[in-house]
């Protein structure tokens, strides 16, 4: 008999995953091994490596994303168990930041670039590129001058953040600007210097700055145009403006004039002697600023065989002075001539009042206490006429050559044989520059009598006629000896115009409103005698609002002036509005900020309505919100924002949609000003 044993019992295996944990994130490269752990009562415990799925997610290509570790086990009894764990693989490395500069090093001084420099950034992220975020990191080429500026780059990804990298760049490729400041030196006359000049130049640099900013340069040489060149200046970036970029001119004369004897004047005697004081002329020479006086004369003093005359002081135009005595000249001078006296009775025919009417003869004698005389007595006869006709002594010469000239002494006689000479003297007042008079003219004639003299030196005649050729004749003149010159001996012709020109406006301007004033009128003038000088001129014209007085003025060639006037008024336009929904009279119109308020108004020039929007201008400005002001809400707003001013021909009014500022609680004043200056305003408070 066969007995079948019962099948042994079989318990399902238990399967778990170890090494990784559900939902946990592991840095890439640091994921622990996933193991499958089997617990089986019949087969015993065991373990094996889990099966890993492909990584999924936006950065799966670089191994970043979600991954599942799966396990499956079937025991010997045919029972199967399965398990899985899903976890995340994350980026554990922050992005990398680097940069390059072209040029790599500053080409100027003190860290400054003088030429263009290019900054390029490199940001690397090898794993989680989809999460990379850069701030800044902009490539830039700095070509223009600039003060020190920082350029930065920072980056972040799921792997972390790369801190801010900052690159400072400062560029100055412009050389300093040089200008002349001032100068020091010994100042002379007429802007000349009498010493070397120390010229100060200054430089400015708007970017890198410079030190020093001021330098001094000394002049060299003399002349009317001594140029001092500016020195070189270098800014802190190394840019250099060369020597002589600019210059300053000076007038410099450091040398006093040279003085030499030039010539002499005087009365020459015999044997190289002078018989009078000598005028010695000295010459000053200055090749730079020139002498203040090219020549000067000095008069000798005393007598002798060696009378020394010294040069005076000479100054040049710059103020340098050569003292007196720099040069000298000697002369032989003998000024003592024989002594001469009158010794004889005058002969001739005596006329009236002790006047002689013929020539007179006189005898003269001479004495010389030293060398004696060649001739001791001579007779001389008078010549000519006069109140004191002098009969001069003749020439006497001593043996030493000293000469007593003719006329050393004399005897006087009164001789007159000629009536006065009459001449035109002048007028009072004088004629104007066109030769005309505009008043009665007092014409003066003068009498000249070289002998006894006139009874009246001058006489006047009044000319009162008008004309371009008024002839005035001299009156009668008589001298003291009784000689008479009849009236009409002399005359003069005058141009006299005492009548002002006639002036009229060619047109007149009536009162009117702004914008309708006619052009400035002209005027006409006429003058039947001297004629009009130039043209008739109109002044006082204007087109702005106000009252004006036109003045038409003309002047004739004689200086007579006529002015006529005409007055007119330019009236201001009349404003009507603002109309509803805006309230006037200091009321605060309340409206929501940012909304558009229609401003409606009318403008009239008298009865004529103005319709040109180009003549209207709106402005707004903030005002203080008055706490006790009356308020009134705007009932109607416009749909659109601010528009230009337009004229609504149907409504017969201007309309401007004013978009209010979006500033609740603020108060504004809206003002419309017309071209003629008239304006209206309304106040608003924004909600």
Q: Mean per-residue pLDDT for 74-81?
A: 90
Q: In what order do the strands lie in the sheet with 96-102?
A: 96-102, 117-124, 140-142
The token pair at 337 is 């001539």
Please indicate whether residue 638 or residue 200 has the higher confidence score (pLDDT): 200
What does pLDDT average to over the chain?
Answer: 91
**pLDDT for 560-619, tens place per residue?**
999 999 999 999 999 998 999 999 988 999 999 989 999 999 999 999 999 999 999 999
Q: How far apart (Å, rounded) are the C-alpha atoms in residues 281 and 309?
A: 10
User: For position 3, what pLDDT does the model report?
Assistant: 57
Lowest model confidence (mean pLDDT) among 20-34, 343-357, 602-616, 619-633: 343-357
Decide: pTM greater than 0.85: no
pLDDT > 70: percent of the chain: 96
pLDDT top residue among 541 and 369: 541
Q: Percent of the chain having pLDDT more than 90?
A: 73
Is the pLDDT at 336 greater than 80? The verdict is: no
Please report the pLDDT score of residue 400 as a whole number: 64
Looking up tokens 């390029």 gives 120
- 333 or 529, which is more confident? 529
Give the dihedral of Cα atoms 152, 157, 162, 164; nearest 10 deg. 20
Q: Is the separation of the CB atoms in 452 and 389 below 8 Å?
A: no
The order of strands in the sheet holding 14-18 is 14-18, 35-39, 46-49
The pLDDT tens digits for 510-532 are 999 999 999 999 999 999 999 99
**How does pLDDT run across 529-577, given as a tens digit for each residue?**
999 999 999 999 999 999 999 999 999 999 999 999 999 999 999 999 8
Which residues touch 318 (CB under 8 Å, ≥6 apart)? 188, 189, 190, 192, 193, 194, 251, 252, 253, 288, 289
- In this structure, are residues 303 and 335 in contact, taking their beta carbons and an 8 Å threshold? yes
Decide if 630 contacts 587 (C-beta within 8 A): yes
- Are residues 113 and 142 in contact, defined by beta-carbon separation less than 8 angstroms? yes
Most confident of 77-81, 210-214, 549-553: 549-553
Instruction: Please give the pLDDT value at position 371.
Output: 60
Residue 447 C-alpha from the chain's centroid = 62
Q: Cβ distance 578 to 602 under 8 Å?
A: no
pLDDT tens figures, 673-686 = 999 999 999 999 99
pLDDT of residue 205: 93
| Beta strands 484-485 and 458-463, pairing class | unpaired
What Å distances lie between residue 4 and 183, 245, 674, CA to CA? 136, 126, 125
**% helix / strand / coil in the chain, to the nearest 5?**
0, 50, 45
């Amino acid at each position: 008999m066969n007995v079948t044993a019962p099948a042994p019992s079989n318990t399902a295996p238990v399967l778990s995953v170890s090494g990784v944990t559900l939902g946990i994130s592991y840095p890439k490269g640091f994921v622990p091994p996933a193991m499958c752990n089997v617990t089986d009562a019949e087969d015993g415990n065991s373990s094996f490596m889990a099966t890993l799925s492909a990584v999924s997610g936006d950065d799966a290509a670089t191994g970043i994303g979600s991954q599942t570790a799966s396990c499956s086990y079937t025991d010997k009894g045919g029972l199967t168990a399965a398990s899985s764990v899903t976890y995340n693989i994350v980026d554990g490395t922050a992005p990398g930041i680097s940069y390059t500069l072209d040029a790599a090093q500053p080409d100027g001084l003190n860290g400054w670039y003088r030429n263009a420099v290019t900054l390029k950034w490199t940001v690397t992220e090898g794993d989680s590129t989809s999460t990379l975020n850069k701030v800044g990191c902009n490539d830039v080429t700095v070509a223009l001058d600039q003060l020190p500026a920082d350029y930065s780059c920072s980056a972040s990804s799921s792997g972390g953040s790369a801190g801010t990298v900052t690159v400072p760049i400062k560029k100055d490729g412009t050389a300093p600007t040089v200008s002349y400041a001032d100068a020091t030196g010994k100042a002379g006359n007429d802007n000349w210097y009498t010493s070397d000049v120390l010229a100060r130049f200054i430089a400015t640099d708007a970017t890198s700055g410079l030190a020093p900013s001021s330098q001094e340069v000394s002049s060299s040489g003399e002349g009317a145009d001594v140029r001092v060149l500016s020195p070189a200046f270098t800014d802190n970036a190394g840019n250099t403006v060369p020597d002589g970029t600019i210059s300053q001119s000076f007038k410099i004369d450091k040398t006093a004039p040279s003085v030499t004897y030039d010539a002499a004047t005087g009365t020459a005697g015999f044997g190289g002697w002078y018989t009078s004081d000598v005028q010695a002329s000295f010459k000053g020479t200055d090749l730079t600023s020139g002498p203040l006086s090219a020549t000067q004369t000095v008069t000798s003093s005393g007598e002798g065989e060696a009378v020394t005359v010294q040069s005076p002081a000479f100054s040049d135009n710059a103020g340098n002075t050569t003292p007196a005595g720099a040069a000298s000249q000697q002369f032989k001078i003998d000024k003592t001539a024989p002594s001469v006296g009158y010794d004889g009775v005058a002969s001739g025919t005596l006329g009236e009042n002790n006047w002689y009417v013929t020539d007179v003869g006189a005898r003269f004698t001479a004495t010389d206490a030293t060398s004696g005389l060649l001739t001791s007595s001579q007779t001389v006869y008078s010549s000519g006429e006069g109140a004191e006709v002098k009969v001069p002594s003749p020439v006497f010469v001593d043996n030493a050559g000293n000469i007593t000239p003719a006329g050393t002494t004399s005897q006087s006689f009164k001789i007159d044989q000629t009536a006065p000479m009459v001449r035109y003297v002048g007028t009072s007042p004088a004629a104007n520059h066109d030769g005309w008079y505009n008043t009665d003219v007092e014409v003066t004639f003068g009498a000249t009598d070289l002998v006894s003299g006139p009874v009246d030196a001058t006489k006047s005649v009044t000319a009162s006629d008008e004309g371009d050729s008024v002839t005035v004749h001299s009156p009668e003149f008589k001298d003291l000896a009784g000689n008479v010159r009849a009236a009409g001996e002399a005359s003069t012709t005058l141009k006299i115009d005492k009548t002002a020109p006639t002036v009229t406006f060619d047109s007149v301007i009536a009162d009117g409103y702004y914008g309708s004033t006619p052009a400035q009128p002209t005027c006409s003038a006429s003058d039947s005698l001297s004629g009009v000088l130039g043209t008739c001129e109109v002044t006082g014209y204007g087109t702005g609002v106000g009252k004006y007085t036109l003045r038409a003025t003309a002047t004739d060639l004689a200086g007579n002036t006529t002015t006529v006037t005409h007055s007119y008024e330019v009236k201001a336009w009349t404003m009507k509005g603002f109309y509803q929904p805006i309230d006037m009279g200091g009321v605060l119109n309340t409206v929501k900020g940012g909304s558009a308020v229609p401003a409606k108004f009318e403008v009239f020039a008298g009865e004529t309505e103005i319709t040109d929007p180009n003549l209207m201008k709106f402005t707004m400005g903030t005002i203080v919100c008055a706490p006790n002001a009356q308020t009134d809400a705007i009932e109607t707003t416009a749909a659109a924002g601010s528009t230009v001013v337009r004229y609504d021909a149907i409504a017969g009014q201007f309309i401007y949609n004013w978009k209010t500022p979006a500033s609740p609680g603020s108060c504004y004043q809206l003002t419309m000003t017309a071209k003629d200056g008239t304006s209206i305003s309304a106040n608003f408070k924004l909600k």
